[in-house]
Structure 1
Amino acid sequence: MDRTLLEQLMELTEEEKEILKGNQEVNREIYTGLTSNFVVQSEKLLNDDLIMIRKHPRYIHFPKHSHDFIEMNYVYHGTFEQQIGDQVISLEQGDILLLNQYVEHELKACNTEDIVINFIIHPAFFDSILPNIASGTIQTQMVHFLFNSMFDYNQQAEFLFYPLSGNDQISEMMDQLIQTMNGDSLFARSKIKFLMGLLLIELMEQQPQSQALSEEQKFLQTVFEYIEEEYKNANLEDLAKIVNQTSYGVSRKIKTLTNKNFKDLLQEKRLTMAKHSLLYSDLPIQTIAEEVGYENISYFYRIFKKKYGMTPKAYQSSMK
């Protein structure tokens, strides 16, 4: 454990200061715009990112709630207790709990020494990571969890608990992740994705092997791999040849499994790569558009603005 980092995490946040002043009800405006059910919304926390971390506020009981993202709780110091359904789960220092977006849970108030780090993760974050860890015919519970969280048709609540107290390798990896996500390194986003991939692999080794992927999951794995590797020139006809199905059949299956069509998935990948190039390269916007697969610069501008609310040039200027 990094003692300097622990000292930083022990400092009171603004939210914790308000709680200690006597505001003992969770300020829902921080977490949701809904007035009925308590659903923590990713748009309130993630902004334009796919992953972020925040220290769980101490001294306050969180009532039953759910969230529209994948959440990972990591106990950096102390303990953490929560209830999922009828099950009470007590986490100790070093333990990790992964919850999908269909879980409802209730969180007991943390004391001063209890430092819990919440990873807020949009399911799309795993689009490029999943194909690299979902290889072979026998898969782990982790892979099933990610597939079911990203494309779950019955919206089944699911969580994975890893009692890892004393695991120095995981502890060191978490230190790197937290420091990277709190820093402003030029390569922070790439490093975070790399470290998260390593972390998932380490967690996979902590679980017994489980059942093989379903045919639907194998199909989606192939789709992800194809888009990840061929996004510049990818097209539905080539994908159909790879899976030995008709273009219509592939299109319909993708829509059924993901609630998105092939064009949506491909466009999401291309725009993500374009956004990365706008931030971390000095290439002309015309070149960036062509590099990610768009020859029509006007069309690229139009879909980029629709997705992010500003033109590529405005986005580049605002972020730099």
Structure 2
Amino acid sequence: MKKSIHDKLLEITEEERKILDEKVFKVDKSIYTNENKFIIDSNMLLPKGELIDIRKHTRFIDFPEHNHNYIEVSYVYQGELRESIDGKSITLKRGEIIFLNQFITHRIEAAKEEDIIINFIIKPEFFDYVLTFLDNENVISKFLVTTLYKEYNKGEYLYFKVADQEEIQKLLEKIIIELYSPSVMSKSAIKLMVGLLLIELMRNSQYMDSYSSNNYEKKIMIDIFKYIEENYKDAVLSDICEKFKQPHYKLSRLIKRYTGMTFKELLQEKRLTKAVEFLEFSNYSILDIIDAIGYENPTYFYKIFEQKYGVTPKKYRDEM
């Protein structure tokens, strides 16, 4: 790890200094949520518009039972992490990783000064792209699908004991450096590196403990996400029905049940996400982007883009 980042990770943060100096014994929940329930809110921790960031876990104090509205990936940089997940005690050692979905309940014992835990805060939609190039028969893909289900509420985790897997440790270090020292192409680089990390974790699944559920519907949903990713310009539900030999009504209900959206709304979300990628990473004109993502009516595109992002496509590009 770069010395500057290593030193930053060892520093006592302002929140930790307050805990030590004022002998605080309870977490200040206002830092993490606006709700009465302790559900940590990604909007309180992530920079506006970002889907992924990292935050060093606050030491010296117990974190009571809580949930997140995002995916949390905890990586033990040094020391250990002691937590209870749905009543099961787990101690992660240096170099180990745990993925928690947004429905899991856990509490964390107070970390000591030498315990440095890096929490990746990841909005579920970040995995929308990553999921499309993973095999749908592995436990990681099935876990990630549940992160995209807005109506799915089963807590799940994946725990990887990969401290001795050099390639995984190198990838984690690169991702941390990219997030701490962002560059022009950081967003694209991080997506690719997270994808590579997931592939390496799949290759080393013998070192994984999991608490998750697998079912046939998840496999279908992975295939639907892949189909939309590859065919967003001209995707139609009837093609999916034919491809998977499933009736229209069944796939419509499945998509609605697990995403909270109709097929049309799901496709629109993908097209708008692609539009943003083109605005950020290409020199295409806005009319060319509209054509590339499958819309024929520019007026309609401008309307739905502004409804979602609060600005016109031109202003979005100008403000990047």
TM-score, structure 2 normalization: 0.89
Please say if residues 152 and 258 of structure 2, whose CA atoms lie closer than 8 Å, have aligned partners that are also in contact: no
**Residue of structure 1 in register with 2:133 after alignment:** 132
Q: Secondary structure at the match of 1:128?
A: helix
**Residue of structure 2 in register with 1:298 after alignment:** 299
Further displaced range: 210-219 or 188-197: 210-219
Change (3 A) 1:252 1:212: closer
Change (3 A) 1:291 1:154: closer
**Residue of structure 2 in register with 1:287 after alignment:** 288
**Residue of structure 1 in register with 2:177 after alignment:** 179
Further displaced range: 4-13 or 190-199: 4-13
How far apart, CA to CA, are the structure 2 residues paired with 1:94 and 1:171?
7
Where do 5+ consecutive residues of structure 1 fail to align? none
Change (3 A) 1:287 1:154: closer
**Residue of structure 2 in register with 1:10 after alignment:** 10
In the TM superposition, what whole-angstrom CA distance separates every residue of 1:262-296 from its partner, at most 9, and x where no partner exists?
A: 11211111111111222222322222222222222
Please say if residues 84 and 105 of structure 1, whose CA atoms lie closer than 8 Å, have aligned partners that are also in contact: yes
Where do 5+ consecutive residues of structure 2 fail to align? none
Amino acid at match of 2:10: M
Q: Secondary structure at the match of 2:319?
A: helix
Further displaced range: 210-219 or 140-149: 210-219
Please say if residues 79 and 93 of structure 2, whose CA atoms lie closer than 8 Å, have aligned partners that are also in contact: yes
- Please show how residues 21-60 of structure 1 align to structure 2 within 5 Å: 21-22=21-22, 24=24, 25-34=26-35, 36-46=36-46, 47-60=48-61
Please say if residues 40 and 68 of structure 1, whose CA atoms lie closer than 8 Å, have aligned partners that are also in contact: yes
In the TM superposition, what whole-angstrom CA distance separates every residue of 1:73-105 from its partner, at most 9, and x where no partner exists?
A: 001112121112322211111011111111111
How far apart, CA to CA, are the structure 1 residues paired with 2:23 and 2:234?
55
How far apart, CA to CA, are the structure 2 residues paired with 1:214 and 1:86?
24
How far apart, CA to CA, are the structure 2 residues paired with 1:226 and 1:154?
21
**Residue of structure 1 in register with 2:82 after alignment:** 81
How far apart, CA to CA, are the structure 1 residues paired with 2:215 and 2:158?
19
**Residue of structure 2 in register with 1:106 after alignment:** 107
* Structure 1 residue 66 displacement after superposition: 0.6
**Residue of structure 1 in register with 2:232 after alignment:** 231
* Structure 1 residue 258 displacement after superposition: 2.4
Please say if residues 305 and 312 of structure 1, whose CA atoms lie closer than 8 Å, have aligned partners that are also in contact: yes
Q: Percent of counterpart pairs with the same letter?
A: 41
* Structure 1 residue 305 displacement after superposition: 1.5
Please say if residues 70 and 124 of structure 2, whose CA atoms lie closer than 8 Å, have aligned partners that are also in contact: yes
RMSD: 2.4
Further displaced range: 245-254 or 301-310: 245-254
* Structure 1 residue 117 displacement after superposition: 0.7
Match of residue 156, structure 1, among 154, 157, 166: 154
Change (3 A) 1:251 1:110: same
**Residue of structure 2 in register with 1:311 after alignment:** 312
How far apart, CA to CA, are the structure 1 residues paired with 2:216 and 2:61?
44
Match of residue 163, structure 2, among 162, 165, 168: 165
**Residue of structure 2 in register with 1:20 after alignment:** 20
- The aligned length equals 315
* Structure 1 residue 192 displacement after superposition: 1.0
In the TM superposition, what whole-angstrom CA distance separates every residue of 1:132-156 from its partner, at most 9, and x where no partner exists?
A: 2124xxx333233223333386622
Please say if residues 140 and 207 of structure 1, whose CA atoms lie closer than 8 Å, have aligned partners that are also in contact: no
Please say if residues 141 and 222 of structure 2, whose CA atoms lie closer than 8 Å, have aligned partners that are also in contact: no
How far apart, CA to CA, are the structure 2 residues paired with 1:270 and 1:21?
51
TM-score, structure 1 normalization: 0.89
How far apart, CA to CA, are the structure 1 residues paired with 2:128 and 2:50?
14
Please say if residues 186 and 280 of structure 1, whose CA atoms lie closer than 8 Å, have aligned partners that are also in contact: no
Please say if residues 2 and 175 of structure 1, whose CA atoms lie closer than 8 Å, have aligned partners that are also in contact: no
In the TM superposition, what whole-angstrom CA distance separates every residue of 1:13-62 from its partner, at most 9, and x where no partner exists?
A: 3333333332623222221111x210011222233222221111222221
Change (3 A) 1:275 1:255: same
